A and B are shown apart, each in its own frame.
Chain A
Amino acid sequence: MALSRDEIREGLSDILEEVAGVNPDDVADGKSFTDDLDVDSLAMVEVVVAAEEKFGVKIPDDEVANLKTVGDAVSFIEKG
């Protein structure tokens, strides 16, 4: 069964907290990974690898540059 956007966002939030120390309360669709959540490029690599594992999706390296906000990532994962 496909996950809802809320479930994906919650899963992402867990990853962000684990690898980058992001407060779950700060995670919302409009938030930018780099500007709002302080997730730098190295931490983003870890987030992507963890998200691939958690959601069973493939996030190609050239796609990562387009995932600027939490909402972008949720949409990409939602499409599977």
Chain B
Amino acid sequence: MTEVVVTGLGATTPLGGDVASTWEALVAGRSGVHLLEHEWAQELPCRIAAELAVEPSEVLPRVRLRRLDRSEQIALVAAQQAWDDAGLNDDLEKERLGVVFGSGIGGALTLLAQDDILEESGARKVSPFTVPMLMPNGPAAVVGLEYHARAGVHAPTSACATSAEAISWAADMIRVGRADVVIAGGAEAVIGGLPMAGFSSMKAMSTRNDDPTHASRPWDRDRDGFVMGEGGGALILERRDHAEARGAKIYAVVAGSGLTSDGFDMVQPDPECRGGGRAMAAAIKQAGIDPKEIGHVNAHATSTPVGDMAEVKGVKREVGDHPVLTGTKSMTGHLLGGAGAVESIATILAIVEGVIPPTINLENPDPALDLDVAANEARKVELNAALNTAFGFGGHNAALLFTKA
């Protein structure tokens, strides 16, 4: 089977404006969550979130910025970093370059802002860039246009599984021979009144407004919901022989991926994690490795009461009771459509660096938690293989298995 490797990483997150600063903060156990000072947030049940550490306006030219939704800005920033990190340039054959880049919600902030303009000032004042800014394939299209990708630009959307799913499709795109190089990932930026009110009405969000940095606490007895974050990540996936021929550095191998669906409930996770478990099993099967080799799982672990413990059951059943778990959303918040990409980057760097970032705020572990978690402090572990999982509203499940380069 064609081997797919990772040759470039890019990210902008609540912990840092690039991969290096994000990784440094992850390993140090820093929280990116804070109290929202915006006027629109003051009447919401949840007034905490993890906003970007570095504003896209510090990185992108002004005119470019005003024609892109914030999710598209994030996508572009992350993709540019990944592209440069991979040492790619214009010599690449564009007919062999693809993009699979998603967003869970799309340009909701643009939609809301332009609707305000429509109501207040009339149709003529609505920006001509409204549609390309709010369409959910916008981030993928912006990245594809930036690098003139012509093998296909795709935009999977599966809520919080989006960018893990994107990486899986990207690997498939290379495996079936449609592309040599694919820019894969996802971006999300919906920290705003309506999206937050919607999640709050579902009772999905933490209301620990008086203690923001301790609000996201996967597997802790006192977890009370997720904390919204914004950001995104991009990975350069490449056919191994293509990467080797150009002397690229190889971070890791995308050894296997699994995509399944629950067929169970729109928003409730299956308490037995059957669909999530089948995704893990599929990734392991495709990789053709013994589950015992998987030393680490960067879990979806959103800090919600049901989901966190369901996933533990899935890991135990499909991988075993040996892997060291972590939930990096304890620090980044939940990047929704950007989560799978940023957490895949964390998983890959854990293999490369031999360090598992901590799950912070795990003060009183849930009594049912019987797996080893890198609680509160980073863990040094030699890793040959590690798994990243992502599950989304709608019952979408993705698992990605990375192995040492």
Residues of A at the B interface (CB closer than 8 Å) are 19-21, 42-43, 45-46, 49
- Binary contact track B289-308/A, C-beta < 8 Å → 1, others 0: 00000000000000000000
- Binary contact track B43-81/A, C-beta < 8 Å → 1, others 0: 000000000000000000111001000000000000000
Known pairs A19-B63, A42-B128, A49-B125 / 12 extra A-B pairs, C-beta < 8 Å? A19-B66, A20-B63, A21-B61, A21-B62, A21-B63, A42-B129, A43-B128, A45-B128, A46-B127, A46-B128, A46-B129, A49-B124
CB distance from B268 to the nearest CB of A (A): 43
Contacts of B125 in A (CB 8 A): 49
Name the residue on B nearest A20 (C-beta). B63
> CA A46 – CA B66 in complex, angstroms?
11
Residues of B at the A interface (CB closer than 8 Å) are 61-63, 66, 124-125, 127-129
CB distance from B55 to the nearest CB of A (A): 19
Name the 10 nearest CB pairs between A and B, nearest first: A21-B63, A45-B128, A42-B128, A42-B129, A49-B125, A46-B128, A20-B63, A49-B124, A46-B127, A21-B61
> CA A20 – CA B129 in complex, angstroms?
12
> CA A21 – CA B66 in complex, angstroms?
11
Name the residue on A nearest B130 (C-beta). A42
Contacts of A46 in B (CB 8 A): 127-129
Contacts of A45 in B (CB 8 A): 128
Name the residue on A nearest B131 (C-beta). A42
> CA A49 – CA B129 in complex, angstroms?
13
CB distance from A44 to the nearest CB of B (A): 8
> CA A31 – CA B197 in complex, angstroms?
49
CB distance from A30 to the nearest CB of B (A): 23
> CA A19 – CA B128 in complex, angstroms?
12
CB distance from B72 to the nearest CB of A (A): 15
> CA A21 – CA B60 in complex, angstroms?
13
Contacts of A21 in B (CB 8 A): 61-63
CB distance from B208 to the nearest CB of A (A): 42
Name the residue on B nearest A17 (C-beta). B63
Name the residue on B nearest A22 (C-beta). B63
Name the residue on B nearest A52 (C-beta). B124
CB distance from A40 to the nearest CB of B (A): 10
Contacts of A20 in B (CB 8 A): 63
CB distance from A51 to the nearest CB of B (A): 12
Contacts of B63 in A (CB 8 A): 19-21
CB distance from B123 to the nearest CB of A (A): 11
> CA A43 – CA B129 in complex, angstroms?
8
14 pairs, A vs B, C-beta closer than 8 Å:
A19-B63, A19-B66, A20-B63, A21-B61, A21-B62, A21-B63, A42-B128, A42-B129, A43-B128, A45-B128, A46-B127, A46-B128, A46-B129, A49-B125
> CA A45 – CA B126 in complex, angstroms?
10
Contacts of B62 in A (CB 8 A): 21
> CA A46 – CA B117 in complex, angstroms?
14
CB distance from B311 to the nearest CB of A (A): 45
CB distance from B60 to the nearest CB of A (A): 12
CB distance from B148 to the nearest CB of A (A): 17
CB distance from B110 to the nearest CB of A (A): 14
CB distance from A57 to the nearest CB of B (A): 14
Name the residue on B nearest A48 (C-beta). B124
Contacts of A49 in B (CB 8 A): 124-125
CB distance from B16 to the nearest CB of A (A): 28
Contacts of B127 in A (CB 8 A): 46
> CA A42 – CA B68 in complex, angstroms?
13
Contacts of B128 in A (CB 8 A): 42-43, 45-46
CB distance from B306 to the nearest CB of A (A): 45
> CA A42 – CA B127 in complex, angstroms?
9
CB distance from B141 to the nearest CB of A (A): 14
